């Protein structure tokens, strides 16, 4: 089988990331050996799995180390290969504890990623990372990176962090939220109004989350509280999960009936 490379890359949001997955697929077709990708972003994962679904000679499986993981690794194998990894088999993912005293200077996940990259971690080696109170954070990474970072130190501003490699089972990942359908009547389709209703936060808190860069629209940072949402838009709020706009309908009183899916 020859991959329709140009067709698969046409209009791609992340051509470089998609190209790496195409190289992986080519290798699997040539060697008949299942292969795991590096960690990929959620937008790339969704786009890749959608585009690759037309390739009947290949199968794909995604795993990020915990249910609901945003950054995941993709396993590719040939359809005729009966010895491929099954969804019940764990992906090659390791855990990482990041110890530090952040009582007076709370870090963001981005701060900690940059601190790890400063000691040779590559972005594609890192999976999800989450804050654990004021004593540090936890992360998922490739086994190779876990070995490389174990016992090493970095800094987030004035705070020193120390890395400790652990098994994934020793981590305490964010709780996996049950999927819920929500309905609300709003005066507008503004992002702050719908996010407030969907995530159960006051408008003021939503605005603050936007200013801090914690709220994303379709995986991209958003800065405008007045941004209007449309059906199909998805909001991601750090520590609060994901919200998808399922329907927007104008009522007789010129207000908006909003149907949402939160998970």
Domain final residue pick, 141, 170, 199: 170
Task: Report yes or no on 83 lying in a domain.
Answer: no
Provide the sign of the torsion angle of the four alpha carbons 46, 48, 53, 59, taken in this order. negative
Q: Domain range for residue 101?
A: 94-170
Task: Report yes or no on 147 lying in a domain.
Answer: yes
pLDDT digits (tens, 9 = 90+) for 159-196: 999 999 999 999 999 877 788 999 999 999 999 999 99
Q: Dihedral (C-alpha) 215, 62, 15, 230: value to the nearest 10 degrees? A: -40
Structural domains counted in the chain: 3
What's residue 99's pLDDT?
Answer: 96
For residues 196 and 166, membership in a common domain is answered with no
Task: Report yes or no on 232 lying in a domain.
Answer: yes
**CATH number for the domain that contains residue 244:** 3.10.290.10
Q: Are 32 and 81 in contact (CB under 8 A)?
A: yes
pLDDT at 238 over 90: no
Q: How confident is the model at residue 84 (pLDDT cuts 50, 70, 90)?
A: low
Q: How confident is the model at residue 128 (pLDDT cuts 50, 70, 90)?
A: very high
Task: Give the sheet arrangement for strand 136-141, strand by strand.
Answer: 126-131, 136-141, 94-99, 159-166, 153-156
**CATH number for the domain that contains residue 41:** 3.30.1370.160
Residues 6+ apart with CB under 8 A from 233: 217, 218, 244, 245
Q: How confident is the model at residue 83 (pLDDT cuts 50, 70, 90)?
A: low
Strands 180-186 and 159-166, how do they pair?
unpaired
Domain final residue pick, 50, 78, 106: 78
pLDDT digits (tens, 9 = 90+) for 199-217: 999 999 999 999 888 899 9
For residues 72 and 39, membership in a common domain is answered with yes
**CATH number for the domain that contains residue 119:** 3.30.70.330
Q: Greater confidence, 263 or 245?
A: 245
For residues 150 and 191, membership in a common domain is answered with no
CA gap 39, 44 in Å, rounded: 10
Q: What is the pTM of this model?
A: 0.84
Task: Report yes or no on 230 lying in a domain.
Answer: yes
For residues 190 and 163, membership in a common domain is answered with no
């Amino acid at each position: 089988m020859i991959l329709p490379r140009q067709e698969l890359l046409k209009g791609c949001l992340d051509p470089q990331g998609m190209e790496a997955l195409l190289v992986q697929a080519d290798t699997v077709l040539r060697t008949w050996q299942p292969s795991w990708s590096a960690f990929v972003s959620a937008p790339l994962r969704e786009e890749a799995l959608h585009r690759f679904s037309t390739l009947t000679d290949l199968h794909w499986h995604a795993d990020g180390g915990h249910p609901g993981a945003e950054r995941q690794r993709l396993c590719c194998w040939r359809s005729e290969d009966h010895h491929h990894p099954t969804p019940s088999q764990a992906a090659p993912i390791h855990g990482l504890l990041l110890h530090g005293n952040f009582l007076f200077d709370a870090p963001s996940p981005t701060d900690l990623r940059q601190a790890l990259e400063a000691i040779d971690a590559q972005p594609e080696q890192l999976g999800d990372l989450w804050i654990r109170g004021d004593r540090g954070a936890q992360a998922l990474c490739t086994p190779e990176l876990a070995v490389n970072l174990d016992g090493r130190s970095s800094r987030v501003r004035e705070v020193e962090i120390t890395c400790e490699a652990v098994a994934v089972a020793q981590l305490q990942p964010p709780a996996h939220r049950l999927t819920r359908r929500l309905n609300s009547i709003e005066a507008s389709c503004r992002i702050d109004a719908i996010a407030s209703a969907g995530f159960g936060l006051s408008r003021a808190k939503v605005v603050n989350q936007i200013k801090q860069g914690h709220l994303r629209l379709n995986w991209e940072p958003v800065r405008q509280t007045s941004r209007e949402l449309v059906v199909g838009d998805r909001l991601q709020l750090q520590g609060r999960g994901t919200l998808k706009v399922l329907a927007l309908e104008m009522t007789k009183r010129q207000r908006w009936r909003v149907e949402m899916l939160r998970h």
